[in-house]
Amino acid sequence: MLKSIRTITIMSCLMLPLASYGASGGDAKTDQKLTAKIQKAIAKDYSLKADAGTVSVTVQNGDVTLKGTVRSDERRVDIAGVAEVVLLRKVPDERIHTAVVHNQLTVSH
């Protein structure tokens, strides 16, 4: 019985940040705003500007996915870094450890 209570308590602590994020801002409007902020940040970065038009940014429930083709692996990593910075500034504090950027960018040869 004690083990079951402990497990339920631990699971509740782990799920609370996700539930509170969904209730406080994981909606489509918030996702659209975050998408726009990430796209703008990539376009404003002088070193990434050339690849900004080939990068697709989608946000669903606060998780970011980057798709498209870039010119180098360095730019692939840098674009993901910009997305992470914007994401970490915008997600609620309790969601920071579960916020994710899925980097599916490919390098053109």
Q: Which amino acid is at 15?
A: M
Supply the Cα-derived Rg of the chain in whole angstroms: 17
Please give the angle made by the CA atoms of 81, 84 and 108, to the nearest 5 degrees: 45
Q: Which amino acid is at 89?
A: R
Question: Model-level pTM greater than 0.85?
Answer: no
In the DSSP assignment, the letter for residue 69 is E
Q: Which amino acid is at 80?
A: A
Query: How do the pLDDT tens digits run along the chain, 109 residues long?
Result: 544 444 444 444 444 444 444 434 458 888 999 999 999 999 999 999 999 999 999 999 889 999 999 999 999 999 999 999 999 888 877 777 788 999 999 998 7
